[in-house]
Amino acid sequence: MEYSCLKTLAGKHKTTARQIRNKFKDGKKWSVPYQTAKGEKRCKFANFMDCKKANTFDDVIIDYTLRSGSYRNTFDKRLSAKVCELCGKTNVPLEIHHVNKVKNLKGKEKWEKIMIAKRRKTLAVCRECHYHIHNP
């Protein structure tokens, strides 16, 4: 990042990176001056070597590996519930109605309002409701 800044300033001033470094030298390092209400300040660049390493090894290491096994997402839960999300019928085979983008829904139909409220692109509906969605 420091070298990139040098090259950018060199391009702006139509000179070389070495000349910019010598121009803005501040001791062993270089910094860019800028004006504030209180006066002139200098912006310095941080290096990884400037950060001190912590020597504390008392921390507990937490293993964040994924658990193996089966888990259900909301799609599986909605299908296995066997409840139509539009009319509320229970114990019926469900079909999934899918739209490309939620932002393209107008919100005029009941099913559109439900999808907008749930912020979902899919809706688990019974066969009759799915037919009425496609053939109003």
Q: Measured between alpha carbons, how far is 122 from 136 in angstroms, rounded to an integer? A: 18
| 111 closest CA partner among 95, 123, 93, 103 | 123
The per-residue pLDDT for 50 is 64
pLDDT at 67 over 60: no
Min mean pLDDT across 13-17, 60-64, 75-79 is at: 60-64
For the chain, list the strands marked E by DSSP: 25-26, 29-36, 39-44, 94-98, 122-126
Contact yes or no for 42/49 (Cβ under 8 A) = no
| 125 closest CA partner among 102, 71, 112, 105 | 112
Extents of the domains making up the chain: 2-50, 74-134
Look at the pTM and tell me if it is higher than 0.75.
no
